Structure 1
């Protein structure tokens, strides 16, 4: 390591000086206070002291973990890269704190270990330094049982996290599938019911048309009646939406008119005409064009069947469109037949996730979407981001316990796109906010949470996309802020 100047981002350590510390001086470091003189001599012979100038880096995140550092004097700053930002994780001047190749004693699995963070000297500092190979050899030879326990702990946590994470994904998939099937069942059942009713109405139309023909209706009058039917259907298609009170008043007016004109089952037909936006003036026009009073009853019923037929076909169209949109949302959510990494509009993933979680959100939660549609596309792994949206929205829904407001907002801050997912729940206590992204930490009852949802979300956003995710919370206003870069991270 060479001195290339200070505060430039380069490693700037002075040459290592071996044999500078005595055994008694080494014993003052809490890591070595219980070691024998023989062990301290070995450490002294296999280590050296280094000095770092104020503002210089001692090690950099991502570089090969080749050395183990112990602070002798000075103040150091530990940082981690979060997207394009260097975030401070600790600052200390405690003598004996250590950093660097802390996992050098683990079994060599063929993967070169790297520094997990960066360390910078804030003022002139001095370190006792050991090569990673020497530190690992020392740990394995002197503390074999401890090394086995630590290795087992590390491997156990990795395996447990992988197993629980897989189970969580399967559980989430099962819940999403159940919700999707429920959402698909509703329009499918509606289409089935509408089809059965439509068959009956078409049969009724044929019957009434036969009765009209049997009544020896003048051809010109029958043509006028068919033309009136088209006008009625066109008028129904453009009918304004009425309130419940307006609809009830119109049904009463139509029913009274049909009673006065001896229309059989008039009060059953009146709601159909009211839904079609027809009024008493329209019924009077129908009476005028039919001409023969004895045919008015058949003509009104025939037009009623025509209106019902149109309404039922609209219901079927709406139901099948709903099924199609659900299938499209499911494909967008799973990113079926799409590249794993692509430039995306983040709003499509948010919308498809909301569709997939409609059943879980329920009717008691109001969804507010405050999107900035002018935002540019971003480079991302869309299926993984959808997993993030699922975890955050699901947490928000559970926090509100079925009642509240879910707010999803997108906006731009500098060179980052921000997705804010907020809820009106009770909030997260201050002492728990710093722990929400820890693996296996959960505030949910036993069996209801694995503690991996936010950990997985953090790793997807930070490690996979070079972004950042933070929690802001107070009673009635909890927000997860996900920041994603507008361009490809330099490590991509």
Structure 2
């Protein structure tokens, strides 16, 4: 990478134009003598010293053809000028080559041209080049227009179709993810209704049973302790193994058999879930009389099961709320198009939306949480993350590791998305950002995902998007500038 700071070349000398020299160029070899005379009359030859001839983004005023010497072409990426080609081939052309399209396209230089050694150029003004093309080659101009605008239109249509396909896939995944907690909440609510009805029945039995005021007060205190124990176990996140659960339930079942509590095996699960064992039930037995022990144990089991069901409803609704929040974050609904955002929120919302596609894949978030927020187009960046993460998931076929790393490199925010898939063949890795290029089977991809990502990162955010790949390690690196002068543009 280099940064070209020197001003445009000022040492330029006009020379005589020779139609015999023009005739030898592949651009002009089939022109008539009159046409060559017109070119020499309207245009001229210039001797140009080394330096920048013109800059990317400047108004395109001239069309240049190299007669001798050498040149290099650069594209602007963030704060750097990236060399894209270098040549000394006589006849290569650059500059206002799109002048014949008129005001239908921006008439600016698409690259920066740097003269590498003292060189001679044939120079024709943009206006004369447009006349040259339209007057002498009208059919060719129509064909070129059709190709240019047709490809542009196709790219937009197919790009929109790819976005709709991605949205459909994400919507299907989101629907599936929402359905699971919704169904869990429905099941838990139905069971909870049964348990509450059972507790009302138990209250009626207690009212008619052999409980005195002191025993009732003791049972209520035990109930609160049981609820507190359940809450503590839940907060600690302790999850016993299946073998441990089985052993605990067996021990509790035996305890209840020993104390002549019928159907104790059905009650054991609630106590195990709360992290309560036989020691705790011994304490219960010491607090209430034998004549009310079974009723007390059943009441406590109902209490714990009710708490567990309410927790299931809470977890399910929290999951639904989180999914809806992720969808809103992902789509940036209700937000300005460009904002100062935490890139980790964008990445996490994308991972949530793609959760179903990541089944079987280990996701590692190697985030630098100290990264400052950055000015970006959130919805567009989420499309970039979607393309890169979805491609990685497809490459790994449901088994592997996806690692997302964030960090700051000088004045750049860097996001690296790495997968352990088979890698991208060396023969095609240089073409993956080309529009319509894809390595997927026919019908499985449009070849625009990475092209769209490139245009969002480089074109809209003035950032950089690159890839490095070998078998078992493919890394896409996105760099976004913190600099206000290099920030996103619509």
Q: State whether TM-score is above 0.5.
A: yes
- Give SS of 1:421's match: strand
How many pairs are equivalent?
481
- Give SS of 1:105's match: helix
Q: CA deviation at 1:112?
A: 4.2
1:104-183 counterparts in 2 under 5 A? 104-109=99-104, 111-183=105-177
The C-alpha deviation readout for 1:292-343, integer Å capped at 9, x for no partner, is 33x3222211111100000011111111111111111111111111111111
Tell me the distance in 2 between the aligned counterparts of 1:339 and 1:233.
Answer: 46
Q: Which runs of 5+ in 1 are unaligned?
A: 1-6
What corresponds to 2:315 in structure 1? 318
Match of 1:275 among 257, 273, 276: 273
CA contact (8 A) 1:13 1:51 kept: no
- Give SS of 1:34's match: coil
What corresponds to 1:459 in structure 2? 455
- Give SS of 2:424's match: coil
Shift in alpha-carbon separation, 1:218–1:112, aligned structure 2, 3 A = closer
Q: CA deviation at 1:107?
A: 4.3
What corresponds to 2:253 in structure 1? 255
What corresponds to 2:32 in structure 1? 36
Match of 1:94 among 86, 89, 94: 89
1:321-400 counterparts in 2 under 5 A? 321-362=318-359, 364-400=360-396
Q: CA deviation at 1:8?
A: 5.1
Match of 2:210 among 198, 216, 223: 216
Tell me the distance in 2 between the aligned counterparts of 1:488 and 1:342.
Answer: 13
Q: CA deviation at 1:179?
A: 1.2
CA contact (8 A) 2:461 2:486 kept: no
What corresponds to 1:432 in structure 2? 428
Q: CA deviation at 1:256?
A: 1.1
What corresponds to 1:266 in structure 2? 264
Tell me the distance in 1 between the aligned counterparts of 2:410 and 2:298.
Answer: 66
The C-alpha deviation readout for 1:10-53, integer Å capped at 9, x for no partner, is 221444525x2322211121111122222211111121111221
- Give SS of 1:489's match: helix
Q: CA deviation at 1:243?
A: 2.3
What corresponds to 1:411 in structure 2? 407
Tell me the distance in 2 between the aligned counterparts of 1:405 and 1:490.
Answer: 34
Matched, 1:17 2:11: no
CA contact (8 A) 2:13 2:48 kept: no
Q: Which runs of 5+ in 2 are unaligned?
A: none
Tell me the distance in 2 between the aligned counterparts of 1:435 and 1:174.
Answer: 27
CA contact (8 A) 1:212 1:299 kept: no
The C-alpha deviation readout for 1:160-200, integer Å capped at 9, x for no partner, is 11111111111111111111111111111111111111111
- Give SS of 1:380's match: strand
What corresponds to 2:289 in structure 1? 291
Tell me the distance in 1 between the aligned counterparts of 2:485 and 2:458.
Answer: 11
Q: CA deviation at 1:96?
A: 0.9
Q: CA deviation at 1:244?
A: 2.2
- Give SS of 2:239's match: coil
What corresponds to 2:62 in structure 1? 67
- Give SS of 1:191's match: helix
Further displaced range: 20-29 or 122-131? 20-29
Tell me the distance in 2 between the aligned counterparts of 1:399 and 1:321.
Answer: 32
Tell me the distance in 1 between the aligned counterparts of 2:285 and 2:368.
Answer: 55
The C-alpha deviation readout for 1:262-293, integer Å capped at 9, x for no partner, is 21111111122111111111111222222133
Tell me the distance in 2 between the aligned counterparts of 1:74 and 1:136.
Answer: 26
Q: CA deviation at 1:434?
A: 1.1
Q: CA deviation at 1:236?
A: 1.7
What corresponds to 2:23 in structure 1? 27
What corresponds to 1:186 in structure 2? 180
CA RMSD of aligned residues (A): 1.5
Q: TM-score, normalised by structure 2?
A: 0.95
CA contact (8 A) 1:379 1:487 kept: no
- Give SS of 1:238's match: helix
The C-alpha deviation readout for 1:225-274, integer Å capped at 9, x for no partner, is 11111111111221243222222211111111112222111111112211
CA contact (8 A) 1:14 1:50 kept: no
The C-alpha deviation readout for 1:356-395, integer Å capped at 9, x for no partner, is 1112222x11110000010111111111111111111111
CA contact (8 A) 2:12 2:48 kept: no
Tell me the distance in 1 between the aligned counterparts of 2:483 and 2:263.
Answer: 68
Tell me the distance in 1 between the aligned counterparts of 2:101 and 2:282.
Answer: 92
Tell me the distance in 2 between the aligned counterparts of 1:487 and 1:13.
Answer: 30
